[in-house]
C-alpha cells in the first residue's frame, strides 16, 4: 500500500509508491517496438479497462474506435481502494496512499503530439479532463484533483506516446494552499481578484503577452522560473476548471494548441510540464473561506524544461532563469505556425 | 545587471541572470581537454583572481601549490557590485541582482571526487566554506548565504571537476523562512527544539539511521523526497554552520566522506545535490525572533538525483518517492566502504 508522509519542517507531503519502481523507462528517444505500446489502437487489452473514452458511434469499450481514452495508471502513485487511516507514527504523521491515478491517452496514433491534433480533437481531450474531474469530485475521500502532462524525458515522461495524467489526492497540496492564501489576502485587502488585476496589468503592459482570444489570454509570467514559461488564464472569473462550457473548452483548445505549436516550432520540441491549477474540491473548501468564487481563478502553467533544477533551487525555492519573460514573449509572438 | 523578481502568488523570488546563457555545457560525461579546465593546477590564470585558498607554505596566490581554492564564478547568477534599489514595477516587485557567487574548487586534481579525498583535505574544504561565510556575513546588503554542491549533469553540474558553490543573497529564501517559522512555532508550543526532538526520535527508532560519530548523525528523513536522501545534523545545538570549531569540522568531514562513499559505492556514483541549510545572517534576523539560538539548527541535505522532477511535483510540491527511507537506510548501512 502506498503511503503519504508529512515533513515536520515544511508541512509538505511525500507519496511513497514502491510499486512504481517496476515502471519501464521507455524514453521517447528510443522508438518503442509497436507491440509494447499499450496506448496504441488495437492494444487496448494491454491496459487496465478504460474508465472513459471518446469513441466513434457503435464502437465497443476496450476495442479500437476511440479518439481519447482514459485508463487507470498501471503503476499508480496512489491506490483507489481503501481508507485514509490518518495516524501519528511516533513523532511523525502519515496517511494511507489513497487516491486516483489515471492516464488520458490523447490519441491512438503514436506519431502524433497534442499540438498537432485538430482543434476538435484537443477539445475532446479537455472534455475528458472535465469529465474525469466531475466524476472524481464526488468521492468524499479526495480534496484535490491535479491534471498534468509531462512531455519528454527531461520533463519526467517515461513514455513517448501522447498522454496526460490525473491524480486525485486526499490532501490539498501546499503549493495550492499558498496560492489560495495569497489570493484571499489580496481580495481581503483590495476587494479585487489578484488574477484579474494581473491579467489586466499584462494586457495593458503588453510586453509579456503571447496570445489572446475571446476566452483566454496567454503570457510569460513576470517571475517565470523557467525560460519560455507560459501561463494560460481564462478571462471569465471561476475557481474551477470543471465549470468550463464546451464553448470555453474550444477557446482553450485554440489557445493551448497555438502556444504549444509555437514552443515546439520555435524551440525544436522542448520537453515541458503542463500543470492545470484549479481550486480544491468543494467539500474540501470548508477549511478555507467563502470568497474563493471571487478571489481564485483556475489557470494552466506550461514549464519548458530547457534547464535543470539544481542544488540552489532545492535549497532556496529560488529559480535562476537566463531568459527574461519579455524576451521569451517577443520570441514566441514571432514564431510562425502553420 | 541580473535582477530579482517576486512572484505575486507564492512570494517566491526568481533570479534573472541573462549572462549565464554563455556558460559552457561541459558535462562530466565528456572528458574535458586539459587545456580547457580552468580548475586544474597550473590553469589558475583562466579563473578570476582567487578570493581564498588553502596553500602550501611559500606558494604564491593564483599559482600552483593549493589544495582548495575559492574564485568568483565566471558566469555569476548575482553581481557583487551595486545597490539593491528595491522597487515596484507597476503591479510587481523587483530588486537589483546583487549578491556573491563563488566557486570552491575542492582539489587541483580533475580525477578526484570529494569523498575520495583524505579527511584532512575535506576539512580544508569545510574550512573554506566557513571562512567565506564569515567574510561575506559582514556585508550588510546580504541576508542569506547558501553553500551547495551539484554533482553530475542530472544534478545541474556543468563541470565535472570537483567543486562546490556559494551564493550570498539579498533576501531570505522562502524555503528557509518556512523552516524557521516551523522551528519557532514548535519551540513556542513545547519549549523544545524540533531538530533535537527529531534527532532523538531517529536515534531511538533506529531504522532510518545511517551513520553516527561524536559530533554528527546521519539519517534518511522520514519524509524524504528523493530515494536515498540523507540529512547530516550536528549533535550540538547551533543555528549557524559558521560556529563550527575545527574539531567539529573534522567530525563533519568524517560523516560527509563516509556517507558520500556509501552512496557512490552502493549506487554507482549517483548524481546528487548537497545543500547546507544554515540560519540567515545575524543582521537579517531582526525580522524574526529571539529564540533562534535554541529553536533552529543548521544541517546538510544530500539529494541523490536518481529520478526526475516532473509536472506533479511542480504542481503540488509533493514528491513521489519509490524507495522508503527505512529501506534506503538499511541499504546504506550495509554498503562496505574502503
**Do A17 and B321 touch, CB atoms closer than 8 A?**
yes
Does the annotation count B163 as an active-site position? Answer: yes
d(Cα A192, Cα A279) in Å, to the nearest integer?
18
For testing the chain B interface, which of A197, A204, A206, A311 should be mutated: the one with the most B CBs within 10 Å?
A: A311
User: Residue B311: which of A149, A201, A225 has the nearest Cβ?
Assistant: A149
Contacts of B321 in chain A (CB under 8 A): 14-17
Q: Is A94 helix (H, G, I), strand (E, B) or coil?
A: strand
* Strand residue runs (E) in A143-295: 144-151, 163-169, 209-212, 216-219, 230-234, 272-277
d(Cα B253, Cα B131) in Å, to the nearest integer?
16
**If pLDDT is split at 50, 70 and 90, which confidence band does B20 have?**
confident
- CA A333-A227-B174 angle, 5° bins: 130
Q: How many CB pairs under 8 A join A and B?
A: 233
Mean per-residue pLDDT for B133-152? 96
d(Cα B224, Cα B61) in Å, to the nearest integer?
42
Catalytic residue, candidates B101, B161, B163, B299: B163
Q: CB B298: neighbour CB atoms within 10 A? A: 20
Q: Is B214 helix (H, G, I), strand (E, B) or coil?
A: coil
Give the pLDDT of residue B287.
60
Q: Which residues of A are catalytic, by number? A: 163
Q: Does B155 touch chain A (CB under 8 A)?
A: yes
From A250, A191, A251, A202, select the one nearest A230 (Cα to Cα).
A202
- CA A302-A79-A284 angle, 5° bins: 65
**If pLDDT is split at 50, 70 and 90, which confidence band does B286 have?**
low
User: Model pTM greater than 0.80?
Assistant: yes
Which class is domain B174-333?
alpha beta
Q: Do domains B3-150+158-169 and B174-333 have the same CATH topology?
A: yes
CA torsion, points A29, A33, A36, A41, in degrees to nearest 10? 100
Ranges of each domain in chain B = 3-150+158-169, 174-333
Q: Does A190 touch chain B (CB under 8 A)?
A: no
Mean pLDDT, consecutive 10-residue stretches, chain A (338 aa), reads 90 88 46 70 94 96 97 92 89 93 96 96 98 96 96 92 97 92 93 96 97 98 96 97 98 98 96 97 72 94 94 94 95 91
Contacts of B9 in chain A (CB under 8 A): 178-179, 182-183, 194
ipTM of the complex: 0.91
The CATH code of domain B3-150+158-169 reads 3.30.428.10
Give the pLDDT of residue A286.
67
Count the residues in chain A. 338
Closest-CA residue of chain B to A144: B316
Look at residue B23 and tell me whether its pLDDT is greater than 90: no
Residue B329 in grid coordinates: 537506510
Contacts of A153 in chain B (CB under 8 A): 308
Q: Give the pLDDT confidence of B157-167 residue by residue, as tens digits.
A: 988 999 999 99
Which residues have CB under 8 Å from B64's CB, separation 6+? Answer: B41, B42, B44, B108
**Do A279 and A240 touch, CB atoms closer than 8 A?**
yes
Give the pLDDT of residue A93.
92
Closest-CA residue of chain B to A97: B320
Q: Does A88 touch chain B (CB under 8 A)?
A: no
**Do A338 and A242 touch, CB atoms closer than 8 A?**
no
Contact check, Cβ <8 Å, A7/B318: no
Q: B13-16 and A319-321 as β-strands: parallel, antiparallel, unpaired?
A: parallel
Look at residue B7 and tell me whether its pLDDT is greater than 80: yes
CA torsion, points B178, B183, B187, B192, in degrees to nearest 10? 170
Q: Does A316 touch chain B (CB under 8 A)?
A: yes
Q: CB B320: neighbour CB atoms within 10 A? A: 23
Residue A109 phi, psi dihedral angles, 5° rounding: -95, 115
Closest-CA residue of chain A to B101: A312
Q: Is A105 helix (H, G, I), strand (E, B) or coil?
A: strand
The CATH code of domain A3-169 reads 3.30.428.10
Amino acid at each position: 500500500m502506498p503511503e503519504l508522509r508529512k515533513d515536520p519542517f515544511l508541512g509538505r507531503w511525500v507519496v511513497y509508491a514502491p510499486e512504481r519502481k517496476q515502471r519501464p523507462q521507455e524514453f521517447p528517444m528510443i522508438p518503442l517496438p509497436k507491440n509494447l505500446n499499450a496506448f496504441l489502437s488495437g492494444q487496448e487489452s494491454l491496459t487496465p479497462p478504460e474508465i472513459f473514452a471518446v469513441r466513434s458511434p457503435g464502437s465497443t469499450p476496450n476495442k479500437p474506435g476511440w479518439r481519447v481514452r482514459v485508463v487507470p495508471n498501471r503503476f499508480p502513485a496512489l491506490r483507489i481502494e481503501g481508507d485514509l487511516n490518518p495516524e501519528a507514527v511516533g513523532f511523525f504523521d502519515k496517511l494511507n496512499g489513497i487516491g486516483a491515478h489515471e492516464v488520458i491517452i490523447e490519441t491512438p496514433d503514436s506519431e502524433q503530439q497534442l499540438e498537432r491534433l485538430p482543434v476538435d480533437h484537443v477539445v475532446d481531450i479537455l472534455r475528458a479532463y472535465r469529465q474525469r474531474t466531475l466524476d472524481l469530485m464526488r468521492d468524499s475521500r479526495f480534496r484535490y484533483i491535479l491534471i498534468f502532462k509531462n512531455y519528454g524525458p527531461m520533463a519526467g515522461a517515461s513514455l513517448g506516446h501522447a498522454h496526460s495524467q490525473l491524480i486525485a489526492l486526499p490532501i490539498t497540496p501546499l503549493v495550492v494552499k499558498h496560492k489560495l492564501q495569497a489570493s484571499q489576502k489580496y481580495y481581503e485587502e483590495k476587494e479585487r481578484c489578484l488574477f484579474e488585476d494581473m491579467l489586466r496589468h499584462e494586457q495593458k503592459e503588453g510586453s509579456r503577452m503571447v496570445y489572446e482570444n475571446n476566452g483566454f489570454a496567454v503570457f510569460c509570467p513576470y517571475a517565470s522560473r523557467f525560460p519560455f514559461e507560459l501561463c494560460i488564464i481564462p478571462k471569465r472569473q471561476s475557481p474551477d476548471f470543471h465549470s468550463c462550457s464546451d464553448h470555453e473548452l474550444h477557446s482553450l483548445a485554440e489557445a493551448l494548441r497555438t502556444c504549444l505549436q509555437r514552443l515546439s516550432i520555435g524551440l525544436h520540441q522542448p520537453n515541458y510540464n503542463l500543470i492545470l491549477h484549479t481550486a480544491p474540491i468543494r467539500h474540501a473548501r470548508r477549511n478555507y473561506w467563502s470568497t474563493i468564487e471571487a478571489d481564485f481563478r483556475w489557470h494552466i502553467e506550461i514549464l519548458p524544461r530547457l534547464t535543470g533544477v539544481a542544488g540552489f533551487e532545492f535549497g532556496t525555492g529560488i529559480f535562476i532563469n537566463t531568459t527574461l519573460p519579455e524576451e521569451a514573449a517577443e520570441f514566441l509572438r514571432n514564431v510562425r505556425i502553420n
